[in-house]
Structure 1
């Protein structure tokens, strides 16, 4: 199934995609469950089917304002240098362990909302990624059980302010400017995705392919990332792990290609979604 978060008539909620639109699930799976994160935490996504299958759409996407898939994750754990093409273009050495950094939840935006280029930099770069949303929490999760802890997958653009990323050896400033974390448009459950390794990921700037890979190309696969992250922090339902971006980022091109006002960037993962965001300038 495919789930979306949104506001409608001024109130936040969530629902499931069906042919022609959306079926609202806010407060319907169980009283008091009014957000996708709450439904994930209560392990209720599997109970949505009787409320959705065979039912007509109650409204269209035009009737709502989409939110990031999980607007309020407790943690967003990002993985750097996780495709060989990207590691090679950065000239970083091979690593024995994943490179992990964090993104703040209040930097996230939804499908079709503008990514904001900040006043203090012209080095706004794109990073097409697959996001993994945790369903069952845990600590010290073994790799051979890790996929049992996945609620679903979504597209993400881990947009980066490159010069601020390089102010020190820590990535945090360049990864946390407001309105630089597009997440969406929907969460797709693992049963619908199948083997994630077969997924293709493409990043397009103004219609031109800039990044392209398959998820089989990950240096550290999703099972390893979940196990590793759960070893240093307890994972909770609704937490998000960004699995890394392929080579082809704008910063490493000759000459560099940075996003500017009026541009449009797309992250497409067939079977998961198409995430589209225009670029605007911070007011």
Structure 2
């Protein structure tokens, strides 16, 4: 099931995409009004949403919002989590965080809720004063039951579903401040969507692939199986320190092929279009302004 948040008449509503990609309205089916509310309500409510989808009306002219337009807390992100990207980042001159090429443990940072925008919205590259705006296509995990101290063996049971995030980054700011929050947390630097695919629809998440294009040119492509630290490891690591709650989001890292990996670097500029696809979830596409 692919769940969405959409706007009709300016009001955010809960919906789902049918097999043809049409938005269907679930807001009148006695369900929670928000995505986080649906996630927190548990499996029985999700089953009710799945049943409601069979007869839910199609919404003409619906505008997709980010699936979780305003996360309850910062998005957890993981840096240098694909081998080839770790190498390209280490060799780029922009990594001021560690000496090792491949991390010994997950590198976790966060992006604030104010960074989130929807598919189709403009990435505000003009807010980067250093003109070093870069793209990072990523698979994101949406937490369901959550908890603290979740063991690897039990971690996948905590997953509600998956979405796509573009971890847009101002590279010079990332390097200058020796940490990543300011370079990655700029308003609008977190496109998310178009949908959350529920975990039951993804029998093997490692079989998913992520591909990124800029202006139609393929820049990134990798299977999720290439992650250095897999999803259970990330959930165990983060939940050992911080309680994971329903609707929390973990962006799992980006493959090689980002702009800083080219010589010279190929940063985004106004008018560019970034397209990220994960089959089964859909396409996240955003112009740059």
Distance 1:263 1:176 in 2: 20
Residue 13 of structure 1 is matched in structure 2 by 13
Secondary structure of 2:195's counterpart equals strand
- TM-score normalized by the length of structure 2: 0.92
The question of whether the paired residues in 2 share the 8 Å contact of 1:264 and 1:279 is answered with: yes
Structure 2's unaligned 5+ residue stretches are 91-99
Structure 1's unaligned 5+ residue stretches are none
Distance 1:82 1:46 in 2: 34
Secondary structure of 1:115's counterpart equals coil
1:57 deviates by 4.1
Q: 1:98 to 1:20 in 2, by over 3 A?
A: closer
1:67 deviates by 1.4
- TM-score normalized by the length of structure 1: 0.94
Please list the CA deviations of residues 222-241 of structure 1 after superposition, one character each: whole Å capped at 9, or x if unmatched: 01001111011000000000
The question of whether the paired residues in 2 share the 8 Å contact of 1:21 and 1:57 is answered with: no
Residue 66 of structure 2 is matched in structure 1 by 68
1:27 deviates by 5.0
Residue 151 of structure 1 is matched in structure 2 by 160
Distance 1:272 1:65 in 2: 17
Distance 1:171 1:119 in 2: 14
Q: 1:85 to 1:15 in 2, by over 3 A?
A: same
Please list the CA deviations of residues 110-166 of structure 1 after superposition, one character each: whole Å capped at 9, or x if unmatched: 011111112512101000000100011200001111111111111110000001111
**Structure 1 position 130 matched with structure 2 position 129:** no
**Structure 1 position 115 matched with structure 2 position 133:** no
1:64 deviates by 2.3
Distance 2:120 2:221 in 1: 21
Residue 4 of structure 2 is matched in structure 1 by 4
